[in-house]
Amino acid sequence: MPGTRFTDIRHFDTIDSTNRYLLEAARAGAPEGVVAVADHQSAGRGRLGRRWEAPAGTNLLVSVLLRPELPVDQGHLASAVVALAALDAVDLELGLELMVKWPNDLLAADGRKLAGVLAEADWASAAPGTPPAPPVVVGIGINVNWPDGDTDLPDELAGTTTSLRQLAGRVVDRERLLGALLGALEPRVADLGTVVGRAAQADALRARCATVGTRVRVELPDHRFEGVATDLTPEGHLVVESDGVLRTVVAGDVVHVRASPGG
Ligand code: BTN
């Protein structure tokens, strides 16, 4: 993408995972800004060790290599800027306003999932310093032209998942969307390098976060609890009020819980 740091864009018909590919490239010394985009992934990675599946040639499956000098506790902002750039791109290309479900899902206005983001830091090849700065690969999978009808989805996804094609009512050009995403990402990544810029990105995330103000169930590896998400911290972590206590959630899964009628 001219005028940005994302000029080395590597396309693959099929690859196991664009995140895996760029993590290896990072270890071999690839510079910030390398992009990997695939028509199909045979072992696409999702959050929390899940798989990310999509039929060939339908969705945008892309990863970017970043080398941000982020304070350790602000690592979440690296994935947040990619989610925010995707919102910008969808707004610019299709005039659709999406929201972020914490930590990093993109939701349509009706709450159905449209995209997921997975950030993987490579601590083994972190640049020395205090604090050490690891390269981070941030991958996003956006449902662009799949599904093209409700019947195309596997049963477990029907009703909870949608695509740009469904929302816009037409086939969407994936290359244009990628260009818009990388264009929007450039200033957001530049912001990661300054205190003021990081605060601006955290504010932008808060403004577009559908989770804040919602009743949630937080699922942690060893337990779960319910409460109301009241805010995001400057690091992009979720604040949940549960039984009168404010708890900060750094990582985990969150389910938006619908209030029961009258409750
Ligand atoms: C999630 O679980 O919601 C995150 C899914 C992230 C999927 C994308 S597709 C491109 C990149 N390569 C991968 O292997 N995963 C990410």
pTM of the model: 0.95
Residue 151 is predicted with a pLDDT of 64
Spans of the chain below 70 pLDDT: 130-131, 149-151, 259-263
Residue 262 is predicted with a pLDDT of 44
Q: How far is residue 87's CA from residue 99's CA, in Å, rounded to a whole number?
A: 7
Q: In a mutational test of the pocket of ligand 1, which residue from 52, 64, 174 has the highest number of ligand atoms less than 8 Å from its CB? A: 52
59 ligand 1 Cβ < 6 A: no
Residue 157 is predicted with a pLDDT of 80
Q: In a mutational test of the pocket of ligand 1, which residue from 24, 45, 144 has the highest number of ligand atoms less than 8 Å from its CB? A: 45
Instruction: Supply the residue whose CA is at minimum distance from atom 7 of ligand 1.
Output: 141
Q: How far is residue 169's CA from residue 128's CA, in Å, rounded to a whole number?
A: 49
Q: Tens of pLDDT along 166-196? A: 999 999 999 999 999 999 999 999 999 999 9
Q: Tens of pLDDT along 94-139? A: 999 999 999 999 999 999 999 999 999 998 888 777 667 899 999 9
